[in-house]
Structures are given as structure tokens and as C-alpha cells.
Structure 1
Amino acid sequence: MTEDLTRTEIDARGVATLTLARADKHNALSPEMMTELTDAVGRLAADPAVRVVVLAAEGRSFCAGGDLRWMQAQREMDRETRRRESARIAEVLGALAALPQPLIGRLQGNAFGGGVGLASVCDVAIGAEGLKMGLTETRLGLIPANIGPYVIARMGAARARQVFMSARIFDAEEAVRLGLLSRVVAPDDLDAAVEAEIAPYLACAPGAVAAAKALLGDLAGRVEPTAVEHAIDALAARWETEEAEEGLSAFFDKRAPSWSR
């Protein structure tokens, strides 16, 4: 397995930074990268010395969504293989959502598709000015399914309706109004803003923080496995439609799909 698609660093305070390290591809989520992420999150969850986790990314973009080569390969798979393969992102999000430590997102550049999903599982997500976000799947004839349970849990159905189906790109300020981001800061202030979120936790009892996060999940309602499975099945069915074939063909052929006006 390639070992440089993500990077994990833990400082002397117990602050872990989990970094997406595929900057040349705008941190698009490849199968190998998602495996690394899931493994890294599992190690952080089990480490009693880790008190806070920061999810960050190298380069100009936080995460451009699913890797294009991976998406192209899925077109040739049978339904069960494709279902299994596409479920990787749900596994990553489930692992991040289950972290006992607070998870702080540091977002810059673009966050599309799966990148929105990653922001959705952060307890606090801070965006740099100029950040663009969007659930762009319907442009391809697909749906934001595997990330959907986590996106809706974060935004609520009423706010999700504003962006879930239209593939509309929105800015960081709107992302705050939608509940995806906690606040927006100048790019040069992003690290200081993340540090300001970290600092209060280091004055708290780590066991109490973990227990409070667990209680919050219990009271607010966690994403249920049945919802995740339903979303995975919905995407598997969608892949087999004529619209998905047309949308993906148009995308890779660099032309407008037949429904575009």
C-alpha cells in the first residue's frame, strides 16, 4: 500500500494532525487513500495519548471528491463489486464520525462531493476565505448517496435541500449558513483559528471530553447503519441508469451531457 497519500503527526500535547497528502490530485479520494485514512483513524481512535484530531489537507484544495480514475474503473464493474468499492467513502466517514476525540476540520480551496462529506463529520470545521463547496454528483447523473447520511445529519434536511440535488457550487460564507462550517477566516489566519479551537480542549479532562462527545451522539442521534446501507444501495442502482452512463461519458469526453441547458 502506498504510504504517502496521508500523513499523521502527533505533537507533545496529544494533538494529532491527519493530513490528506495527494496535493497533485487535489486530494481526490482514491481507494488506496481511503484505506490509509480508515487505518489511520483507527489508530488515532485507539491511542489514549491523542486528545484532539485535526483533519487537514496539503496543497490548493481540501478534497476534490472521488478520484476520476477510480470512478472510471467502477463503470466496468458488476453491481456487487461496484457497490463494495463505492462503499469505501462511507467506511471512511463512519470511522471519522466514531472518533472519540474532538475532530476539527481545516479546509481550503475546494471541497466537493466526498470533501463535503469529510467536512460533515468534523465536530468543528473552519474554512478559508475563497473556499468553494458543492455536492456535484447529479451533474454526472449520480447522487450524493454514500456521503448523504452524514451530510444530512450535519446540515439537517431543510438546509440540505438547498444544495443536495442541484450540484450548485457555494462559497464558505454560505457553508456557514448551511451549517457545514463553523466560521470563515482569511487564509493566513487559518492555522491560528484551528489552534484557537484546539486550546480549550487541552484544559479539559480528556475522558470527560470523550464522554461528552459520546453523550452528544446518543442524544442527537447517530447515523444508523441501516441508513448507510440504504444510501449505498441507492447509489448502486443509480450507477445502472442511462443518465449515469450519459453523465459519466460526457464528463470523460469533455462535452455537455444531453440534459444540459
Structure 2
Amino acid sequence: MNEAYVKQDIKNGIATIEFFHPAHNSLPGDLLAKLANTITKAGNNEEAKVIILKSGGDRTFCAGASFNELININDAETGKRFFSGFANVINAMRKCPKFIIGRIQGKTVGGGVGLASATDYCMASKFAAIKLSELNVGIGPFVVGPAVERKLGISGFSQIAIDANSFYEAEWAKQKGLYNQVYNTVEELDEAVQKFAENLCKYNPEAMKEMKKVFWNGTEDWDDLLAERAIISGRLVLSDFTKKTLKRFE
């Protein structure tokens, strides 16, 4: 697989949304926009009763934002637009009236941790370690922070945000509340995700819609909050510290 994509399949009430990028499923701006739009459309599609969010390949769920785009940011407006990409996806997931099941098959970094955190029920393989690496390059996990903190609590969020060099194992993420279930193999994960989604399809759609509102109560300000956080990251990426750090990775 060499072509990046976002695709959707709806079967028996289950909408499966899959994204892929050859660079470890990192997400450039155009893919993030497609992903947000696809989630919104699935939420409005009466054929879909529940949504599965997954990525292609078997090694990495999501490596975060596109590094190539990151190093080419040269003004504040471009920076804000770049960091708003994950904000738009998280807000689309938050507003979606359907439950979103996360299928996390492998390691996930930065913005990918934000996506996992914004799912309503997250299932992972034992290979799905997580890392917030943003401080390593002179910025911080500002945009995904509210979603990650909502699942891990301020203690867990601050731990992985400050310890930006370390991967935290899937079992740690489960203990902290990010992952609801962890499986030994990707095959077991896929089987469990499918069965779980099929069971959810038996529930009253109106009841699930109302429960989703309850679960996300208190996040109504996230459109503004995540936009403000994108501005902070957009400013920091232009700092001398970050520019010098990024040059090491070119």
C-alpha cells in the first residue's frame, strides 16, 4: 500500500472508517479534513448505527501529524491551520451522534493518541503503546490535550506529556482508562471489535444518541478551546528553539 486514503464501508449498520498513509499512518492536512468530513457524514447517515475507526496496516495506528508539513510552517496562520487539523477531527468525533469504537492495532503517537482518546469505546492490541512526543520538538500536546486528559485524567496526561521520550504500554493505557480492552493479537482484536459493534447495533439508536450527549457533557466549548490551543502550537512551532530542533530531523 503506497497511496494515502480515507475510506468508509457501511454493512449491517456498522460504518467502518479507515485511514492510511505510507508514513506510519501520519496524517497530513488533506487526510485530516477528509477524516473529519467522513465521520460527520457517517454520523448523519441513517444506515449507520455505530462507527468503527481504524487505520490500515498492522504496525502503527497513527504516527500523528505529518512531519513534512510541520517543518514547512513559516507563519502563524499556516501554523494555526496545520494544528487545527486534529482539532477538527476530534470535534467531529465529539459531535457525532453515534458511538465510535476505536480499533488501535499498534503504536500511536501525538495526534494519534488524541484520536484514540476521542473514541467512545477503545479496544487495542498489546502492541498499541502510546507516546506524546510533542515536547521533544519544542511544542506540546495542546490540541489533543483536552481529549487525552478527559480519558487519562490530569495525572496520566501530564505524565506522558512531560515524559515525551517514552512509550507507555497498552496495559498502562488500559489501567488509566484510555483502552477499555487489550488483546494479545490483532486477530483477536478484530474479532472482538466486530462482535462488540454487532451487539451495539441491537441497541436503541435514540438511547445511544442521548447517552453520547451525556458522556460528552461539559465539552461544549471545545470548538473555541481547541482553536485557541492550535494558535498556541502555531506560535511555538515558529520559535527559534523549535526551528532548530526540527532541522535535526530534516
Q: How many residues align?
A: 245
Task: Using the TM superposition, give the Cα deviation of residue 223 of structure 1 relative to its aligned residue in structure 2, in angstroms.
Answer: 5.4
1:30 to 28, 31, 37: 28
2: CA distance, partners of 1:205 / 1:189: 27
> Which structure 2 segments of 5+ residues have no match?
none
Taking only aligned residues, the RMSD between alpha carbons, in angstroms, comes to 1.7
1:46 to 24, 44, 47: 44
Question: Are 1:152 and 2:136 counterparts?
Answer: no
Q: Secondary structure at the match of 1:26?
A: coil
Task: Using the TM superposition, give the Cα deviation of residue 247 of structure 1 relative to its aligned residue in structure 2, in angstroms.
Answer: 1.7
Aligned to 1:216: 215
Aligned to 2:161: 164
- Greater alpha carbon shift after TM alignment, 46-55 vs 123-132: 123-132
2: CA distance, partners of 1:52 / 1:119: 16
- Code of the residue aligned with 2:72 in structure 1: it is A
Task: Using the TM superposition, give the Cα deviation of residue 227 of structure 1 relative to its aligned residue in structure 2, in angstroms.
Answer: 2.1
Residue by residue over 1:157-200, the C-alpha shift from the partner in whole angstroms, topping out at 9 and shown as x without a partner, is: 12212212221211111111222111210222011111232133
Q: Say whether the 8 Å CA contact 1:56–1:106 is kept in structure 2.
A: yes
Aligned to 2:19: 20
Task: Using the TM superposition, give the Cα deviation of residue 132 of structure 1 relative to its aligned residue in structure 2, in angstroms.
Answer: 2.0
Task: Using the TM superposition, give the Cα deviation of residue 122 of structure 1 relative to its aligned residue in structure 2, in angstroms.
Answer: 0.5
Q: Percent identity?
A: 26
When the two structures are superposed, what TM-score results if normalisation uses the length of structure 1? 0.88
Q: Say whether the 8 Å CA contact 1:117–1:151 is kept in structure 2.
A: yes
Higher relative contact order (CA 8 A, sep 6+): 2
Question: Are 1:179 and 2:177 counterparts?
Answer: yes
Task: Using the TM superposition, give the Cα deviation of residue 107 of structure 1 relative to its aligned residue in structure 2, in angstroms.
Answer: 0.7
1: CA distance, partners of 2:214 / 2:130: 30
| Distance of aligned partners of 1:237 and 1:97 in 2 relative to their CA distance in 1, 3 Å threshold | same
Aligned to 2:191: 192
Aligned to 2:226: 228
- Code of the residue aligned with 2:141 in structure 1: it is P
When the two structures are superposed, what TM-score results if normalisation uses the length of structure 2? 0.92
1: CA distance, partners of 2:82 / 2:201: 38
- Code of the residue aligned with 2:224 in structure 1: it is T
2: CA distance, partners of 1:153 / 1:200: 26
| Distance of aligned partners of 1:4 and 1:81 in 2 relative to their CA distance in 1, 3 Å threshold | closer
Q: Secondary structure at the match of 1:240?
A: coil
1: CA distance, partners of 2:223 / 2:151: 16
1: CA distance, partners of 2:243 / 2:15: 41
2: CA distance, partners of 1:20 / 1:117: 15
Aligned to 2:98: 101
Q: Say whether the 8 Å CA contact 2:10–2:47 is kept in structure 1.
A: no
Q: Secondary structure at the match of 2:161?
A: coil
Q: Say whether the 8 Å CA contact 2:76–2:231 is kept in structure 1.
A: no
Consecutive aligned runs of 4 or more in structure 1 exceeding 4 Å deviation: 220-223
| Distance of aligned partners of 1:69 and 1:240 in 2 relative to their CA distance in 1, 3 Å threshold | closer
Residue by residue over 1:191-247, the C-alpha shift from the partner in whole angstroms, topping out at 9 and shown as x without a partner, is: 1111232133122111111112112322x5455333213311221221132221122
1:88 to 85, 88, 92: 85
Question: Are 1:126 and 2:131 counterparts?
Answer: no
Bigger radius of gyration: 1
- Code of the residue aligned with 2:134 in structure 1: it is E
2: CA distance, partners of 1:241 / 1:247: 10
2: CA distance, partners of 1:178 / 1:222: 24
1: CA distance, partners of 2:90 / 2:228: 15
